[in-house]
Amino acid sequence: MTIQEQYQKFQKLEEELKAGRLKTGDRHYQQFAIELFEQTDCKSLTIEDSIKAVEILNTLNIKLHQEQMEIGEGSWLSSCAKYKTISNIELLIFVLYPLGTEKFTEEPKVCVVEIP
């Protein structure tokens, strides 16, 4: 799935939640985040796709934290860090990580986006 398709899917999710067609507290953002991290090859993004990916991931970061406050344990959160390499390339590193009980044994997922 391309970043543009992911963006459209994210917009549809937002519309469905705002319209009340989806029940809040059902981990919709977490499911979307997991799919996004599993289906996107961050290393092969074009400049335009990198910008769109950063937009999605920044918004998703906020939504995941809001959703986690509603759900509590056994949820997913994300973090974002910006780095500059020795060769002066800027990178945004997004990490999607499990939070909660010891039974929650999923591995963290990472997406590194080069800032154009």
Query: Residue 50, exposed/middle/buried by CB under 10 A (0-12, 13-18, 19+)?
Result: middle
Count how many domains the chain has.
1
pLDDT tens-digit map of 7-45: 999 999 999 988 888 887 678 888 888 888 888 877 778
Is residue 74 assigned to a domain? yes
Average pLDDT, the chain: 81
Domain that holds residue 36: 24-114
In a domain, 53, yes or no: yes
Count of residues making up the chain:
116
Q: 């044994």: which residue's tokens?
A: 105
Q: What is the pTM of this model?
A: 0.75
Residue 73 lies in a domain: yes
